Structure 1
Amino acid sequence: MTFSATTVLVLGLVALLVLALGVWAYSTANRLDRLHVRSDQSWQALDAALARRAVVARAVAMAVAGPVSTDPLRGDRAAQLATLADRAERADRADRETVENQLSAALSLVDIEQLRPQLVAELADAEARVLIARRFHNDAVRDTLALRTRRPVRILHLGGTAPLPHYFEITERATPAAATGLEVHTTRTAARVVLLDEQDRVLLLRGHDPTAPEVPFWFTVGGGVEPGESLRDAAVREIHEETGQRVDPAVLRGPLWRRVAVFPFNGELIRSEELFFTLRAPRFEWRPAALNALERRTITDHRWCTPADIRALEELGEAVYPYHLDELLAEAATAAGDDTDHVVRSIR
């Protein structure tokens, strides 16, 4: 049996079309799988942010109620807030939006003048995290649905049996402080560096808020990005200013982590988006080169710390930022030794 040249050509074209369709279907299915993973992870992050807000809301309710409340209305509002926080933690996915909106409304009625500054900052930070996590989740849902609802994708069932993701809609305020009613005085982006020595000990600086010198805390090297400056250049500049060391920007690894924090400092409320690099360098003597006047007043000590050292500082009641740095150091040490690109993930 022989085939004409035309038949062979037609069969070849059909084979190429089938192959192209198969490659497209395979790549699309893989992309859908990644999008579903992204939407699942974004929901987990949002769920964690909502859970943290519920914990802070419960602390706010206790503060509003006070040890002995002589105001029945104040006690009722505190009880209602605590009840809504409990319901938000236990609500299933179908009822979550309604309950979280009720909790948002209750929090918006809280008189923040009744709260300690630290609790106000915790509430602002929790609200900001919910706002950011919700936006990330809805972006992931949007991208997944945009591909899942295309006709060829539906006809070929490339989405498999994975359920369609759903948007999560809750009321949010336009202010960066979210539903706290606070005015954020400063919003900044910061480059921070997990600076490790040969034994994977991290350099931490000890400082305090000028308005609360009795409450020290520890933090990594780094600071705000200046206008026109890249994150990497800012990190290199901060290393020199705060340690006296000059490093090549190319040796920095990352950024690895992203942290959004809202906190009071020097009488202002600051919202800081922090991106963390990592760097391993030979241990050196700490000689800051260009601390400004405020930093010279508020940075009081430094220490090269192991995970155990970090836990010991926390046991003494001195906060270490970012949270859970003792658990994060292994990841930073691994990243410091390779050249691969890293996916930035959110931390506290």
Structure 2
Amino acid sequence: MYVELCNVNKYYGTYHASKDINISIEQGTVLALLGPSGSGKTTILRMIAGLEIPDSGDIKINGAVVNTMKPRERGIGFLFQNYALFRYMTVFENIAFGLEMQGISKAEIKRRVTELLDLIGLRGLEKRYPSELSGGQKQRVAFARALAPRPNVLLLDEPFAAIDVKVKEELRSWLKETIKKIGITTIFVTHDQEEAVELADYIVVTKQGRVEQMGTPRDIYGAPKTPFVAQFMGKSTDIKTYHHLKGFNMDIQGDSAIIRPECVRIYKKGTLRQYMSAAEEGIIERILFKGNHMELWVRIDEILIYSNASIDDEEFKVGESVDVLIYRLYVFDQNKTYVIENSKMNTDNLYYI
């Protein structure tokens, strides 16, 4: 493994910020540290960077323990959330800054900065100042500056937090393509699930200083191992009375369950052609237009759930009676999550996670 955290702990006074952290990352991998505010993800990133020192455990990069190494000795490139560009330096000077601190020759600096300007697509803007750049351009310059000294590991702290939604989507695609092109091991912090799923090869979900689960985006989303991960990932509806739903009255003693919108399909009365025995009758209570789809909120007895519908589907109306198929539930107790398929639709109905 290229980057390893082995039983790492970090305290701030009596506050236990990182609790027995064990993470292993292969070279060239993109890893997302994902979790809510205060979950410990940024502390992990800062310890890898050398900006914080663990109280116990080891941090290894390429097999070497780096606990006592200074940040500049670790071969780390760090992209800060606010980019931290120097206002009175041009784009060229910002990118060249780290190279100048290393005493690199002017000819080599010019060659390296020009190479990076081509990589980030900003050739021709090297004489501009940060105040003359858009948010997306500033992010690219900060990215190039972090890459200039040819680091072994790239660390990104909430890399898209300061960018508007449209530019953010474009930059995600660009950043993923660029990281893969240069093949650098990358770790980034985010609280945005969509960002983590889109960019990362692996995701580490953190909660209260602990690693809740590590796996591929598909594993984390589709096979959550703990109640927290099941509830944190995706946009879902929490329910208690799941045993009353058709096809889910098997002997599972979970405390509660969630239903994700992709596991629900809503049909206008008279249009459902199969699985009628599994269908619930619901009443549409709310409809939200989301641009490229509709969000439908439906009440089944005391349970209010929601699903998505295409804007090309036949129009639904508030108060309309509909048929509802629920394909899957995520049921959990205090320690375990059960992924349950509707028994009236699938005979392979139970998976233990």
State the TM-score, normalized to the length of structure 2: 0.25
More helix as a share of residues: 1
Q: Which has the higher strand share?
A: 2
TM-score by length of 1: 0.25
Decide which structure has the larger Cα Rg and report it. Answer: 1
